[in-house]
Chains A and B, each alone.
Chain A
Amino acid sequence: MPEETRKLYEERLKRYQAAIALAVPDRIPISAGSNYFAEVYAGHTNQEFIYNSNAWSEADARFVHDFPEVDAFRSGRFWGPAHDAVGFNLYKLPGRDLPPRTQFQFVEGERMKADEYHLLINNPVEFLFERYLPRAFSDFQEPGSIRSFMALIKGSTASAMLGGLMKARSQYMQTELGMPQSMGGVFLAPFDYLADGLRGLRGIMLDVRRQPDKVLEACEALIPDIVNAALAIADPLRRYPIFVPLHRGAYPFLAPKQFDEFYWPSLKKVMTMLIDAGYTIRAYLEGNWGPNWHHFRELPKGKVLCDIDIQGNIFKAKEELGGYQCIAGGVPDSTLILGTPDEVRERVKLLCETVGKDGGFIINGGCGIPYDSKPENFRAMINATLEYGRYSDTTKFELQINPNQPAGWQPPKRRIVTPWEVKRKELGGVMGDEEIIKQHWEMFEHMAFNWIFSWLW
């Protein structure tokens, strides 16, 4: 890549990484995890962006061209064709079930029954194939049918394609636009796997009262698979944080006591394991996390970037998390959508002078930049950050790029459906180098499980 682009990339990434690590960069970084605005800014409808992968680089290039001061961004999580390949029914998509210019939406449902906890806990593979997938994939309603076989083949092909597209996109952003990703790889809190795709909100709310032990046992049992699935798609160079949108831990979905009992312990374990693997995390604290965010002080300092949503009080968040974790947010979504550039500017000024004062702060909307933000408001947010958010002339921080896992670190046990030993026995032994055959056998076993696991939300 041209020297100038490389320099730009490194400058941006350093600024972003420094803020997360609680070092003080040259200025307050500008970075949204989910930049919805960037998806439609170039003029694409929501449907076009979700269905047409050619739109991505076009949209990225236009956005970076017009807003080069942004330090890291990522947009788009869905690729409609992959959903359609299996008939994934957890989301309504623009252009398919919703008007082309609206946002995708989650569909609540009970895709695991109240009496199926033991199946999920003891034999997740069987549970997923026999119970969950027929309910989550409309093309897999009759397992064993031609259509169900086709769904699995189409779905896994689509996922492989999507993986390639996302990699190319990230590469394009880096080498052509000098733009880092704001995150790479994703996971949910164990409790949210249950509360979102599996039991649904209604189901989980009854479970925490009727069968609390099962809920806790399931959260624990999910941990190794969650960690492995997250690592499988995280940035191999550990430059970007792994993303975790946190849903039902917001107040008041759970009482603080319930949060402490059901939500936090298993989430903390997952995050600790990922941090131990050398990663940082970007946690979306969606909704009001006021009563619960103090828990993030229990994790290693400067490892978890916390996005503070508009329902939370960012000034309070700074009081409670300052010196422990970096926070992002502060510009109300409603102001970006309905307000004026002057109002945005006033808000950013206030943020820079208070929560941004000693570093550990990234400017953002509440968890993301809304689709309907006025471009002049987004521009005002940037300009005001440049004006009021400067700390010094240079970012004194060593760029973090690390392909190696920390010494001695081991991933949790990876799930294998048919162990190599069984396969070898069937083959009656192998004639050459066994290790290379075994390695690939296990790799695909592991990838296949991760693929199914990825459809849990």
Chain B
Amino acid sequence: MSNFTELTQAFINLDEEKVYGLVQKKIAAGEDPVGIIKECNEGMTEIGKLFEQNEYFLSELIMSGEIFKSIMAKLEPMLGDVQQENEPSKGTVVIGTVKEDIHDIGKDIVVSMLRGTGYEVVDLGVDVPADKFVAAAKETGAKLVGLSCLLNFTFPELKKVVDELDAAGLRDTVKVAIGGAPCNEEVRKFAGADYYAKDAAAAVSICKEIYQ
């Protein structure tokens, strides 16, 4: 049996009214906002797990983000100078949708899953040219660059990013993973990438492998 707090459990159940009610009660009782956030964070982590296990789907993931945002909007002004004690990051990942492709749904899921499992994610957004990936990898020292795409005309662009990382002398230290609907092993080989992530859960496993 799980031993989540009442708030965490309500959050996992995505019971909006109950979550907001409990948060309100805690605020009124003068509880530390950092603690409240921590309880919600635990809910987010559990929801990520449920998503990986196909218990939860996209609507639950989006809903949890929405609830979390509302709570943060309420609590953030109360935080003042209090430093949130962040758990140390497990590692840094640079991620983006490649040039000329503007799709972000899949990428955003991966970003939220990686953040939820403790990685620091540098999200470059969509339509990202190869040199931006290279610059970000250099700047952050990330050991993994994740390339997302939805459209199959982007295969040469995937390869271009890998080639430019190579040209910048980063290929020994930076691994490349690709993901998105048109990707598969054949595309990975063509692009010269190290990994093909078939879904968000696979992306998390790849990070675990690299940053173990």
Contact = CB atoms under 8 A, between A and B. Distances in A.
B57 interface: yes
A334 B62 contact: no
A311 B102 CA distance: 20
A332 B184 CA distance: 10
A334 B187 contact: yes
A30 to B, nearest CB: 20
Contacts of A311: 181
Given A201-B105, A287-B181, A372-B152, A335 B186 contact: yes
Interface string B145-157: 0000001110100
A338 B63 contact: no
A102 B63 contact: no
A163 interface: no
Given A102-B153, A103-B151, A209 B184 contact: no
B152 A252 contact: no
B62 A206 contact: yes
Interface string B63-80: 100100000000000000
Interface string A144-159: 0000000000000000
Contacts of A334: 152, 155, 182, 184, 186-187, 190
A333 B59 contact: no
B32 interface: no
A121 interface: no
B152 A258 contact: no
A337 B102 contact: no
Interface string B105-147: 1000000000000000000000000000000000000000000
B162 to A, nearest CB: 14
A206 B151 contact: no
A253 interface: yes
Contacts of B100: 98-99, 102
B151 A202 contact: no
A22 interface: no
A230 interface: no
B164 interface: no
Interface in B162-187: 181-182, 184, 186-187
Given A98-B100, A103-B153, A107-B102, A332 B186 contact: yes
A202 B155 CA distance: 27
Contact of B151 (A99, A105, A338): A105
A182 B14 CA distance: 45
Interface in A257-290: 258, 287
Given A105-B103, A311-B181, A253 B58 contact: yes
Interface string A189-203: 000000000000110
Contacts of B101: 105
B interface bracket (residues with beta carbon within 8 Å of A): 20 to 34
B145 to A, nearest CB: 21
A372 B186 contact: no
Contacts of B187: 334, 338
A370 interface: yes
Nearest to B150: A105
B57 A338 contact: no
B155 A338 contact: yes
Interface string A202-213: 100110111000
A255 interface: yes
Contacts of B3: none
A137 interface: no
A379 interface: no
Contacts of A133: none
A92 B102 contact: yes
A205 B101 CA distance: 23
B58 to A, nearest CB: 6
A370 B190 CA distance: 17
Contact of A371 (B105, B153, B190): B153
B58 A339 contact: no
A338 B189 CA distance: 10
Contacts of A333: 152, 182
A216 B63 CA distance: 19
A197 to B, nearest CB: 16
Given A201-B105, A209-B14, A255 B152 contact: no
Contact of B186 (A92, A103, A339, A370): A339
A21 interface: no
A334 B54 CA distance: 27
Contacts of B151: 102-103, 105
Contacts of B56: 255
A107 B104 CA distance: 11
Interface in B26-85: 54, 56-60, 62-63, 66
Contact of B153 (A108, A209, A339, A372): A372
A1 to B, nearest CB: 37
Contacts of B16: 210
Chain A CB count within 10 A is highest, among B56, B155, B181, for B181
Given A98-B100, A254-B58, 4 more contacts: A105-B103, A254-B59, A310-B182, A338-B187
